[in-house]
Amino acid sequence: MSTSKIFRYDSDGIVVTYEARRCIHAEACVHGLPAAFDPKRKPWVDAGAAPADDIARVIERCPTGALQYQRKDGGPHEAPPPKNTVRIAADGPLYFHGRVQVNAADGQPLARETRVALCRCGKSALKPFCDGSHTKAGFKDAGAVSSLQVKNEAGKSGDGALVITCSTDGSLGVGGDFELVDAKGGVAGRGNLTWLCRCGGSGNKPFCDGTHKKIGFKSN
């Protein structure tokens, strides 16, 4: 995985960090609090332009995790939602929301966050994270689930965390309780084990069907 620069913006009450390459311009921030997040201004984040509570609330809507915060005023830290969800974006990434841990194939932790967008078109230069390359690559997938491949296995629920293992040149293994949500917002299934495609080639998206081997997918 290549590295990505993280920008930092401070006010008395909150520190905002922004990892530009993980932003896919979904604009939840810009529409949610334009005084603090204005892409026409330099720097584009003004952490003092609104109360820390409002800034935190809007950052928690950033689906990719490009924006994060830490409170300096004793306010609450971001809490994970009660349920882990995996949401498929039409023509875009997989959004994970919950107690999310992303591990490399060798078990090395890559992220421990509540909001993460992972590449499923196979073209990101920041794998396993989405960097918006799906748009340039013309990736197309409606984000529907036609043949559910989610298991419920004893002993796989763990401690409530959703552990995603990025296998070398292969799928994203997902272990831990989760709800799979299609691009229209419908719950397609619930379970605690699945393998999701990240090469862009599966004939049964969002699940891995082994196509990565045929197309010679490289995860690095």
Interface residue list for ligand SF4 (CB under 6 A): 23-29, 62, 64, 66-67
- Based on CB atoms, which residue is closest to ligand SF4, 44 or 217? 44
Q: In the bound complex, what is the minimum distance in angstroms from residue 111's beta carbon to ligand FES? A: 19
CB 85 within 8 A of CB 178: yes
- If phi > 0 it is left, if psi is from -120 to 50 it is alpha, else beta; for residue 203 that is alpha
All residues at 6 or more sequence positions from 183 whose CB lies less than 8 Å from its CB, including other chains:
87, 88, 89, 90, 142, 143, 144
Q: For ligand FES, which stretch binds (CB under 6 A), given 28-36, 58-66, 157-165, 206-214?
A: 206-214
Residues in contact with ligand FES, shown as a per-residue x/- string from 156 to 185 under the rule CB under 6 A: --------------xx--------------
Choose the contact partner of 198 out of ligand SF4, ligand FES, none; CB within 5 to 8 A by kind.
Answer: ligand FES
Backbone angles phi, psi at 112, to 5 degrees: -135, 95
Choose the contact partner of 197 out of ligand SF4, ligand FES, none; CB within 5 to 8 A by kind.
Answer: ligand FES
Q: Looking at 199, 206, 216, 218, which residue binds ligand FES (CB under 6 A)?
A: 199
- From the number of C-beta atoms within 10 Å of its C-beta (0-12, 13-18, 19+), residue 24 rates as buried
- Based on CB atoms, which residue is closest to ligand FES, 114 or 124? 124
All residues at 6 or more sequence positions from 159 whose CB lies less than 8 Å from its CB, including other chains:
none
Report the distance separating Cα 167 and Cα 161, nearest Å.
18
CA of 93: how far to CAs of 130, 146, 185, in Å? 6, 18, 15
Q: In the bound complex, what is the minimum distance in angstroms from residue 197's beta carbon to ligand FES? A: 3
93: contact with ligand FES by CB under 6 A: no
Number of residues that bind ligand FES (CB under 6 A): 12
Give the helix ranges, DSSP H, for 60-150.
Answer: 133-137
198: contact with ligand FES by CB under 6 A: yes
Q: For ligand FES, which stretch binds (CB under 6 A), given 4-12, 38-46, 52-60, 198-206?
A: 198-206
- Based on CB atoms, which residue is closest to ligand SF4, 58 or 193? 58
Q: In the bound complex, what is the minimum distance in angstroms from residue 196's beta carbon to ligand FES? A: 8
By DSSP bridging, strand 172-181 and strand 162-166 are antiparallel
Amino acid of residue 36: A
For ligand FES, the binding residues (CB under 6 A) are 170-171, 197-199, 201-202, 208-212
